[in-house]
Each structure stands twice: as structure tokens, then as C-alpha cells.
Amino acid sequence: MPGFCDIRAVRGMVKLTKGSRLQMRAVLKTNDVVLLSFAQSLLADARIDAVVFDGNASVMDGSLGILPRRLMVVDEDYEPARRILRAALNDSCDEPT
């Protein structure tokens, strides 16, 4: 089983052609770790891969949780992920900027 940062596992999931780049977009931006975990679970159930950016940034603010975490998805999964989260969270979360 690959670890959290095992690049070999990530390379196996992404198929890139020469010169292509994978674009990601923030589908959720929040300080609420419970909401973030729930959103990850919803997307995983829908078979949408999501990655948390800025998860360790709280070290920079003294672990106060001031800096929001971003839930990122591949550009082509953005609209389905956004619809799933809007339906499940009833528009209670902030739109990422």
C-alpha cells in the first residue's frame, strides 16, 4: 500500500502525454477540518480524486487554524465535484476564490 507521499502511486493514477500539464482547481476552501474530511469522503464516494493543499500551513500560523485549506480536484472533475458538494452541503460553504 503506498504511503501518503508516495510519488509512484500518483504517477500510476495520472496519464500524461508529452508536453501536457495537469490543471487543478480548488473546489472547497475552509478552516473546518471536519467539513473538509466530509467533502473528501463525498468526492471519494463519487470516484473523484481530491487532494488537500495547505494542510500543513497551520504550522506557519502557530497551529491556530487561521490559514484555510483547499480541496483541489483535476480541472475536468471540477463541475461534478462542485455539484456534489453544493447538493450535500446546501451552499453552506464558501466558494473558493
Domains of the chain plus CATH, in order, are 22-89 (3.30.70.790)
Q: Say what the pLDDT of residue 54 is.
A: 82
Q: How many whole angstroms separate alpha carbon 32 and alpha carbon 13?
A: 28
Ramachandran class of 66: left when φ > 0, alpha when ψ lies in -120 to 50, beta otherwise: alpha
Does the pLDDT at position 73 exceed 70?
yes
Q: What is the pLDDT of residues 31-65, one digit of tens each?
A: 888 999 999 999 999 999 999 988 777 666 666 66
Q: Say what the pLDDT of residue 81 is.
A: 94
In this prediction the pTM is: 0.68
The bridge status of strand 50-53 relative to strand 24-30 is unpaired
Q: What is the pLDDT of residues 7-24, one digit of tens each?
A: 445 555 555 555 556 788
Cβ–Cβ < 8 Å for 96, 26:
yes
